[in-house]
């Protein structure tokens, strides 16, 4: 008969890598169509002109230009303006 109890779930946790979230482009940088600007969980940053959000709240450029961050009504917005 075993003298130690079975470990069960405590030994089955896998060590998962991080999700690499955050800003991928900063203000003033050039972007092409489809380039990711922000990877986030939830909508900390919101879309503005020239950007769209994916289903996982990823913000990406829909036109080429320069990234611009601004605050409007207490919300952080991300836009892409013409170069």
* pLDDT at residue 7, as a whole number: 62
Q: What is the pLDDT of residues 20-37, one digit of tens each?
A: 999 999 999 999 999 999
* pLDDT at residue 69, as a whole number: 98
Nearest to 31 by CA among 47, 48, 46, 50: 50
Q: What is the pLDDT of residues 40-73, one digit of tens each?
A: 999 999 999 999 999 999 999 999 999 999 999 9
Q: What is the pLDDT of residues 1-20, one digit of tens each?
A: 666 666 666 666 788 899 99
> What's the CATH class of domain 23-81?
mainly beta
Q: Measured between alpha carbons, how far apart are the two ends of the chain, in Å? A: 75
- Measure the CA–CA gap between 38 and 22, rounded to whole angstroms: 6
* pLDDT at residue 15, as a whole number: 84
* pLDDT at residue 16, as a whole number: 86
> pTM for this one?
0.81
């Amino acid at each position: 008969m075993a003298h130690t109890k079975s470990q069960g779930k405590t030994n089955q946790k896998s060590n998962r890598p991080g999700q690499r979230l955050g800003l991928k482009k900063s203000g003033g940088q050039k972007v092409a169509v489809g380039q990711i600007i922000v990877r986030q969980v939830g909508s900390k940053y919101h879309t503005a002109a020239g950007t769209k959000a994916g289903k996982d709240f990823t913000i990406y450029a829909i036109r080429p230009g320069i990234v611009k961050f601004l605050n409007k009504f207490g919300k952080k917005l991300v836009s892409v303006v013409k170069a």
